[in-house]
Amino acid sequence: MRLLIIGLGTAGSKIADAIVRPSGSSSRCSDLHAITVDNDPDVLEHLNYIDEEAKFYFPKDNIDNPELLTTRFTIDEVKSKLKGFDVGTHDAILLCAGLGGGLVNLVPHLVSIIRETMYEPVFSLVTIPAEEEGETRLIQAMKNLQMIRPLVDGVIIFDNQLWLDKARGEMQDTLMQKETGLSEKFWLPGTSEKENLGPFDLVNRHIARRIRILINAGEIQKGAPQTVLDSREILNTITGMSLITIGYAEEELPDSGKISILRQRNESRVGRQERAARIVKLAERAVFREISAYCDFTTAKKALILLSGPEDELSMKGYMAVRKWIDESIDGFEMRSGDNPVSARYMNHVSVLILFSGLPTVTRVQDLYERFGKKE
C-alpha cells in the first residue's frame, strides 16, 4: 500500500519515523512518505528516517491560538509539501498523534487542507495516554478523540497503558538475560539487530511493526498466496469504520537448517495438525493478548486476517479455522483474509494479524468516559 504518513507532536513524529524505518524483513520504503510537525526541535533533529525537508517546526506559542493556525507559516509549508505530491501517488493518508499532546489541535486544519488538496481517504493512528501521564492528559485525550472521530475515515487505537506494561515486562526479561550473559541490548522479535531502546521507543516499534505488515500485504513475493489480500481490500475494511484495533502475534521457527530436517516430519499427519494448531493459537494471542487496545471484538462490523511466514509453515486448515471463528463472531458480515508466503531465507517466523473495524468503543476509552465524563 502506498501511504503518506503525517506525524503530529512528539509521539506522532516518533511513530512516523518508526513506520518508515527499514526493517529486517522488508527494506522497501519507496511507497512510504512521511511528514512530521513538532514543537520540539530536538525531537525533529533525532528522527533518523524522515527527510530533513519533510520535518516542520511549529512554534509552541501558536498552539494556544488554533483559530490562527491556518494562516501560520508552518501550516503553509506543510500545505505546499502536500501539493508537491502527484495525484494518485498514495492510496491513503495516515495522521499519527498522541491523544494527550498539544499538537492534536492541528488535526482539523490538516484534514481540511488534505481534503482540499487530495482525494485519498484519511485515517488517524492515535495513542491513549498511560495512567502515569496524569488525569489532565487523560481528560484531554477523551476530548481529542471526540474531535477526531468525525473528521477522518477511521481511527486506529493503541493503548499506551497496555503496551507500556508489555514493553517494560519485555525489557525486564532482557535485563535478566543480560545478568546471565545472554543479551547486552534489547532485541525486538522480527528484527535482525539489537539496540538500546526505552519503553516508549519499544511501544513505537510494536506499533510500526503492525502497520508495516498491514501495508505490505499484497506486495509481490516469490511464493504465491493461496488467498490474495490487496490494498483495496484493506481500505474497504477500514474506510468509514470509526474505531479500529489491530492484533498481531508471531512465533519464531527453528533456523533454516533445522526446518529442512523437520520438513519430512511436518508432512506427516501430526506435522500438519501441529501447523494448524499453531495458526489457531497465534490468532487467539492476537485477539486476546497482543491487540492494540482491548475491545469486545464481537461488536466489530468488519474484520481482516493476514497470515505471514514461510510457505511450508502456513496451514490452510488453521487459516480456515481462524477465518470461520472470526466470521461467526463479529457483528457485521464483511470478513476479508489473505496469506503472505515468504521465503524461509527472509523470514524465520509465522505470524497472524487480525484487524477489527467499526467498533463502537474500546475498553480503555469506555473506562475513561465512565471515570472522567463529568469532568469534561
pLDDT in tens, 290-317: 999 999 999 999 999 999 888 888 888 9
Q: What percent of the chain has pLDDT over 90?
A: 51
pLDDT at 196: 66
pLDDT tier, 261 (very low <50, low <70, confident <90, very high otherwise): very low
Choose the CATH number for 3-213 among 3.40.50.1440, 3.20.130.10, 3.40.50.720, 3.40.640.10.
3.40.50.1440
Give Cβ neighbours of residue 160 (< 8 Å, ≥ 6 apart).
98, 127, 128, 129, 130, 133, 203
Q: Please count the CA atoms within 13 angstroms of the CA of 154 that sit on its side-chain side.
A: 25
Strands 349-359 and 302-310: antiparallel
Q: What is the pLDDT of residues 5-48, one digit of tens each?
A: 999 999 999 999 999 998 655 544 557 899 999 988 999 999 99
Q: Which helix (H) or strand (E) holds 358?
A: strand 349-359
Of 187, 13, 195, 42, the C-alpha closest to 103 is 13
What is the distance between the alpha carbons of residues 97 and 299, in angstroms, rounded to a whole number?
A: 25
For residue 376, pLDDT beyond 60: no
Q: Which of 61-75, 141-155, 192-206, 214-228 has the lowest mean pLDDT?
A: 61-75
CB 43 within 8 A of CB 9: no
- Read off the pTM: 0.88
Residue type, 245: T
CA 156 to chain centre: 8
For residue 136, pLDDT beyond 80: yes
pLDDT tier, 89 (very low <50, low <70, confident <90, very high otherwise): confident
Q: What is the pLDDT of residues 176-231, one digit of tens each?
A: 665 555 444 454 554 545 556 788 899 999 999 999 998 887 554 555 556 667 88
Q: Which residue has the cell 491487540?
A: 291
Domain definitions of the chain by residue range: 3-213, 245-359
What is the distance between the alpha carbons of residues 265 and 259, in angstroms, rounded to a whole number?
A: 10
pLDDT at 179: 55
pLDDT at 188: 53
CB 62 within 8 A of CB 93: no
For residue 343, pLDDT beyond 80: no
Average pLDDT over residues 339-344: 77
CB 110 within 8 A of CB 95: yes
pLDDT at 301: 96
No. of H helices and E strands in the chain?
12, 12
pLDDT at 27: 46
pLDDT at 158: 97
pLDDT at 82: 85
pLDDT tier, 237 (very low <50, low <70, confident <90, very high otherwise): very high
- Using alpha carbons, list the distances in angstroms from residue 119 to 87, 113, 115, 233: 8, 11, 6, 18
For residue 368, pLDDT beyond 80: yes
Q: Which CATH class is domain 245-359?
A: alpha beta
